[in-house]
Amino acid sequence: MAGPPDPADWQQRRTSFGSVAAGYAAHRPDYPADAVALLLGERPLRVLDLGAGTGLLTDALLTAGHEVVAVDPSPQMLDQLRARHSGVPVHVGGAEAVPLPDADVDAVVAGQAAHWFDPGPAATELRRVLRPGGVVGFVWNVRDERVPWVAALGAALAAEARGHEADQGVVTAFAAALPADVATAGSATVQRVTPEQVVAGIGTRSYVATMTPDARAAFLDGIRDLLATHPDTAGREVLDLPYRTDAHRLTPR
């Protein structure tokens, strides 16, 4: 796994989401149903949503008929999940010390979260909480930069993001640590958003949440300027923000 150069910076980003929990719930994209089917199949399972955050992946898991238990290190994020799904059990905790008993779930999934896990200790915990024959599923929504204005947005974010929005070799690291066989499939989703909602969504990224207030305001103003001046977005009230969805099913050997 290609980690950030500064461990303190990584830890600060990893724990930053509580401060933007409401915005995260409002402005992050959903997960497509076919990605969940790739991860878990069609039979209802008991699933741990690890790094569940505000419950965006939990939404898709419940819609598919699965029983869900949610774990996240941020109480504020879990408050948002409780507001969405009051019947889902939630626990404060992380991938390296999962607050569940042995052999408790049929599957462990993580949406937009596994790049924050430490593969060695986390793999040990995943094997502990999984029932025999259980699976691990990782999924990321990543902006589709084949669209020119989205590519321009990605370029504006790249220096600050430093890879904190995608796989970064996490799947390979977990496949070795578990060990596991991997099946991968792609899907897609699109958000219909206003330019200001695009800006608000960027504001929930860890690298923005950890900026000083002045730096954050200046950075987000730069994104506003980009959207106001790019030929594909200038003057438009609603934008189609496309994402590719990368889903990885890991089957422990």
Asked whether residue 89 carries a pLDDT value surpassing 50, the answer given is yes
CATH of 7-151+161-190+242-252, one of 3.40.50.360, 1.25.40.420, 3.40.50.150, 3.10.180.10: 3.40.50.150
Select from 110, 47, 36, 32 the least CA-distant residue to 73.
110
Angle at 191 between CA 187 and CA 166, to 5 degrees: 50
Q: Compare 35 and 27 and report the one with higher pLDDT.
A: 35
Asked whether residue 17 carries a pLDDT value surpassing 70, the answer given is no
Question: What are 130's strand-pairing partners?
Answer: 105
pLDDT band at 60 (very low <50, low <70, confident <90, very high): very high
Question: What are 246's strand-pairing partners?
Answer: 140, 186
Asked whether residue 166 carries a pLDDT value surpassing 80, the answer given is no
pLDDT confidence of residue 168: 73
Interval 102-123 mean pLDDT:
96
Q: Tell me the per-residue pLDDT of 200-233, one tens digit each, with 9 for 90 and over.
A: 999 988 889 889 999 999 999 999 999 999 999 9
